[in-house]
Amino acid sequence: MKIIECPRDAWQGFPHFIPTEKKAAYLNQLLKVGFHTIDFGSFVSPKAMPQVSDTARLLDHLDLSGTDSRLLAIVANERGAMEACRFGQIQVLGYPFSISETFQLRNANATVRQSFEKTRSIAALCTENGKELVIYISMGFGNPYGDFWNVAYTLDKIHELAELGITKFSLADTIGIAREDDIHALFSQLIAAYPNLEFGAHFHSKPGNWRQKINAAYTAGCRRFDGVLLGYGGCPMAQDELVGNIPTEHLIAFADEKKELLKINSEALVNARELFLRLVSAYAQG
């Protein structure tokens, strides 16, 4: 089981800018924990997401010696992908591909069809620069805009993307509305149809139903899960009331119950959690 820690998703909606040095100190602590991947920043418009406008500068402050964790950066277009590819420290690029026409226009100023062409270009840049690409299927379990959605529609869009040579997908429950039956149906069908591809889950959830969502994906064969310490985060472009991420603490406990082997340094995890609590106290309140 792989756990992807997503501090970028946590702090991108904080109302007060976290100084680069404080972000870096927290990331350096996360790098000691043993997560498979850390979603640490974004190469996107600083006007749209000012909290992550220092992503490139962060890299000068990170200590990657002695860690097996990989760095993932989110990009919104080819320009962002080109910038991210300049940095050898970044192994993975993530591109949010919404299958909701309304949200893709809102989030990336592009239609779904235009985003296919962006994906093609970004995938080529990743191949040229030795980067891995993860496509985040945002609004993968429905949307609040009245755009058409069902399980078959999501499967069809992933099939089209797979034909571009994409090998890693993370299905995102962007606004926290995924139902257990839909989660299980999507992952079981995708994993059976594409045994050589990797499918992960990026769930947003209210506190009462995180386990049902994770268990539905796990029993269908999913072994890649995104989380955030303390469950902070949510997509600020999606709706006014954010629904938080799955707390990483819950994912680790779930993995332990399932006897999944994780290389988590418990002391480093406690220290990271305490450091993040201080950031939350200082910068998360409006």
pLDDT tens, residue by residue, 8-58: 999 988 999 999 999 999 999 999 999 999 999 999 989 889 999 999 999
Domain range enclosing 186:
2-283
Helix, strand or coil, per DSSP, at residue 267? helix
Residues 221-236, mean pLDDT to the nearest whole number: 85
What pLDDT is recorded for position 237? 42
Q: Is the pLDDT of residue 234 over 80?
A: no
How many CB atoms lie under 10 A from the CB of residue 181?
Answer: 10
Give the CATH number for residue 156. Answer: 3.20.20.70
What pLDDT is recorded for position 48? 85
Lowest model confidence (mean pLDDT) among 22-36, 182-196, 243-257: 243-257
Total of domains in the chain: 1
Query: What average pLDDT does the chain have?
Result: 93
Q: Is the pLDDT of residue 241 over 80?
A: no
What pLDDT is recorded for position 193? 96
Instruction: Annotate 128-189 with DSSP letters as a single string.
Output: HHT-EEEEEEETBTB-SS-----HHHHHHHHHHHHTTT--EEEEEETTS---HHHHHHHHHH
The pTM for the full model equals 0.94
What pLDDT is recorded for position 240? 39
DSSP state of 16: S
Contacts of 136 (CB under 8 A, 6+ apart): 94, 95, 96, 97, 169, 170, 172, 202
pLDDT confidence tier of residue 243, bands split at 50, 70 and 90: low
